[in-house]
Amino acid sequence: MSHEIRKPPIAIVGFPRSGTTLLRRLLDAHPHIDSPGESYLLSACARFIHADRVVDGVEAGVLGGLELLGTSRDEVTGRLRKLVFDLRDERARRVGKSRWAEKTAIDGFHLDAIRRIFADELTYVCVIRHGLDVCVSTLEWCQRIESFPAELHRYVAQHSQPLVAFAHAWVDVMQALERLQQDGRERTFVVRYEHLVTAPEDVLRELLEHLGETWVEGLVDGALASGLPDGFGDWKAYGRVTVDARSVGRWRSLSDGTLRQLAPIVNPTLSRWGYDPIDLDGELTQAVALRRYELSLLAQRAKLTARNEAEVRPPAEPQAN
């Protein structure tokens, strides 16, 4: 392969709402790295080679189909790789950069297929965030866009409670990241969202060193001060003009009952990635659940009573001067 761009391109991967857009914007501010809005290139390639396992374990898809017609799997994945590299090399050159980074929010769901196509020709930057903060933020995002991306809808179709669905989806993506890390540690760099938003410069310095790029003064401020979004992206992340840690720990606002449902799903993965597992007192027995239900009715009644009392209360007499 004859690429003018020598340093391996970068794939920023993680679960949606984990800080991938923030990191993309920060990298795009670097004079050597072109990291624009979402192109969907990697996930589109992954979908292209998707195969359904049918009778006797046969994988029915384009790779198997073309192989039977005389074109090897490597040939097909090589051509896909070339298509992506050509398009992105060209775009990087057009904007005067020597290297590119690709980030599309849903890439994390296609990570195994992306790796199958791009093997070790990409450097992977994995952005991870506390699973429950991700769930809270994803719920907000889906409500705002009034839909579920197909990759998430699959989970919502299986679990009637969206937060439960997102928790399962997060675990699956984190497991794909774990496989990636295990197989190619030297090609992988992990950015923890909670560190990124509390010490962006430190994280970025370390990441750039890993990528073999030099640090540039004013990178963080310059990245967020830039104007309109360049391509598709996350509307919420574009609203950021400063990096701050306000969105860390939002999961604590979830009700005790919800946390009890989510904890068993996310706890093993939280622990594996160095987060404290969700620790709750006692069990959610049927008696506890019923007591909580009774209290929720009483809480509603208390609020309604207070509102009714405020409405019937006569307005205060104007004060005489």
- Angstrom distance (rounded) from CA 183 to CA 114: 14
**Which positions ≥6 away from 245 have C-beta within 8 Å?**
194, 197, 198
Is 2 an interacting residue with respect to other proteins (CB under 8 A)? no
- Angstrom distance (rounded) from CA 263 to CA 281: 12
Is 182 an interacting residue with respect to other proteins (CB under 8 A)? no
- Angstrom distance (rounded) from CA 197 to CA 184: 26
Q: Which of 74, 120, 209, 256 binds other proteins (CB under 8 A)?
A: 256
Is 271 an interacting residue with respect to other proteins (CB under 8 A)? no
Q: How many CB atoms lie within 10 A of CB 200?
A: 21
Is 185 an interacting residue with respect to other proteins (CB under 8 A)? no
Taking the least distance from each CB to other proteins, the nearer of 222 and 249 is 249
Taking the least distance from each CB to other proteins, the nearer of 6 and 313 is 313
Contacts with other proteins in 284-303 (CB under 8 A)?
A: 288, 291-292, 294-296, 298-303
- Angstrom distance (rounded) from CA 188 to CA 10: 10
Is 279 an interacting residue with respect to other proteins (CB under 8 A)? no
Handedness of CA 316, 298, 159, 251 (dihedral sign): positive
Nearest distance, CB of residue 34 and other proteins, angstroms = 35
**Which positions ≥6 away from 125 have C-beta within 8 Å?**
10, 11, 12, 13, 23, 101, 188, 189, 190, 191, 207
Taking the least distance from each CB to other proteins, the nearer of 183 and 244 is 244
Residues 216/30, Cβ–Cβ less than 8 Å: yes
Nearest distance, CB of residue 309 and other proteins, angstroms = 9
Nearest distance, CB of residue 296 and other proteins, angstroms = 5
Contacts with other proteins in 56-115 (CB under 8 A)?
A: none
Scanning 81-89, 220-228, 255-263, 312-320 for contacts with other proteins by CB under 8 A, the matching segment is 255-263
Best CA proximity match to 108, nearest among 128, 135, 83: 128
Contacts with other proteins in 124-153 (CB under 8 A)?
A: 136
Number of residues that bind other proteins (CB under 8 A): 26
> In the chain, where does DSSP find H-type helix?
20-28, 41-48, 62-68, 73-94, 111-118, 131-145, 150-158, 162-183, 193-198, 200-211, 219-225, 235-238, 256-272, 286-312
Taking the least distance from each CB to other proteins, the nearer of 47 and 252 is 252
Q: Which of 218, 231, 249, 268 binds other proteins (CB under 8 A)?
A: 249
Q: Which of 246, 274, 317, 318 binds other proteins (CB under 8 A)?
A: 246
Residues 14/128, Cβ–Cβ less than 8 Å: yes
What stretches of 179-236 adopt beta strand conformation (E)? 188-192
Taking the least distance from each CB to other proteins, the nearer of 69 and 310 is 310
Nearest distance, CB of residue 298 and other proteins, angstroms = 4
Taking the least distance from each CB to other proteins, the nearer of 47 and 291 is 291
Best CA proximity match to 191, nearest among 8, 9, 21: 21
Is 161 an interacting residue with respect to other proteins (CB under 8 A)? no
Residues 14/211, Cβ–Cβ less than 8 Å: no
Nearest distance, CB of residue 164 and other proteins, angstroms = 16
**Residue 218 is encoded by which pair of tokens?**
């004013």
Binding site for other proteins (CB under 8 A): 136, 246, 249-250, 252-253, 255-257, 281-282, 288, 291-292, 294-296, 298-303, 305-307
